[in-house]
Amino acid sequence: MAFGQPKIEYKSNAQILKMREAGLVLAEALDEAVAAAQPGITTKEVDAVFAGVLERHGATSNFLGYHGFPATICASVNHEVVHGFPSEYVLKDGDVLKIDGGAIVDGWHADSARTVLLGDVDEADRRLSEITQQAMWAGIAALAEARFVGQIGEAIEKYVHAQPGPRLGILEEYCGHGIGSAMHMAPDVLNYNSGHRGPRVKPGMALAIEPMLVRGKLATSVLDDDWTVVTNDKQNASQWEHTVAVHLGGIWVLTAHDGGAAGLEPFGVSPSPIKP
């Protein structure tokens, strides 16, 4: 360990393949949770659907019990940015729901999040989600050629600020992270250009890349549950996230069914799966 710097975990190809197993279970769980998230359904019911997929595959949740977290997903609605508790809240037409979840297979972790737009949503919220999602892919694409982790945040910020129309805010207090034998590991993966290079990108790294954007101001607060993050101005937020591995052959999006092929194509990047 370098003085004052947390040690980065570098995975073997075999370990990355285990993370891919977790990532595919997680992708399926998110597919079913997103499909279940309809007006008239509670966020607690969405959580139960997600949990059922993990159980079906013999995977476990890395969210449930994490520092006391009570569920298998974070379900954050509208101006709730992240870390919201699934509850008896009944989803309604026009809601913006962020579903963030994880899975563990044989001790190896995956983490991913999606924004779900319910029914007839405000076009500004649709734009918010689309730009957040594409900013995530811009960051992932940048990782393919990056020498330093800080280049991911540079690419995310550049993409967001290049979009026409009202400028969206990039939250700076919350960021992506390393992942592997634990859910949250070094290094931090910022979603903006901090002016710092960060650690060098090396084969064996696995990173959760997760921009969070807001329609309004950047100020946020944490509710009395000590988890749920909300925007102070009540403007809506979006979150998208994938777990991405770096190996000698390139990058591989472990939580995307296609390894990231469709999302990376507009950026001229192709994923490189590891052969079992």
Question: Which candidate, 215, 260, 272, 269, places its Cα nearest to that of 24?
Answer: 260
Grade residue 220 by pLDDT with cuts at 50, 70 and 90.
very high
Statement: residue 41 has pLDDT above 90: yes
Statement: residue 2 has pLDDT above 60: no
Grade residue 6 by pLDDT with cuts at 50, 70 and 90.
confident
Amino acid at 158: K
Per-residue model confidence as pLDDT tens digits over 69-95: 999 999 999 999 999 999 999 999 999
Backbone angles phi, psi at 209, to 5 degrees: -105, 120
What domains appear along the chain, each with residue ranges and CATH number? 13-267 (3.90.230.10)
Flag whether the pTM goes above 0.85: yes
Per-residue model confidence as pLDDT tens digits over 134-190: 999 999 999 999 999 999 999 999 999 999 999 999 999 999 999 999 999 999 999
pLDDT of residue 61: 98
pLDDT of residue 191: 98
Annotated binding site: 83, 100, 111, 177, 184, 210, 241
Backbone angles phi, psi at 2, to 5 degrees: -65, 150
Grade residue 1 by pLDDT with cuts at 50, 70 and 90.
very low
Collect all residues with Cβ–Cβ distance below 8 Å to 124 and sequence separation of at least 6: 166, 215
Annotated binding site for substrate: 83, 184
Distance of CA 195 to CAs 142, 151, 152, Å?
16, 10, 12
Annotated binding site for a divalent metal cation: 100, 111, 177, 210, 241
Provide mean pLDDT across the span 130-134. Answer: 98
Per-residue model confidence as pLDDT tens digits over 194-216: 999 999 999 999 999 999 999 99
The Cβ of residue 16 has, within 10 Å, a number of other Cβ atoms equal to 23
Question: Which candidate, 216, 268, 263, 219, places its Cα nearest to that of 242?
Answer: 263
Tell me what the pLDDT averaged over the chain comes to: 97
Q: What is the rounded distance in angstroms from the CA atom of residue 86 to the CA atom of residue 206? A: 28
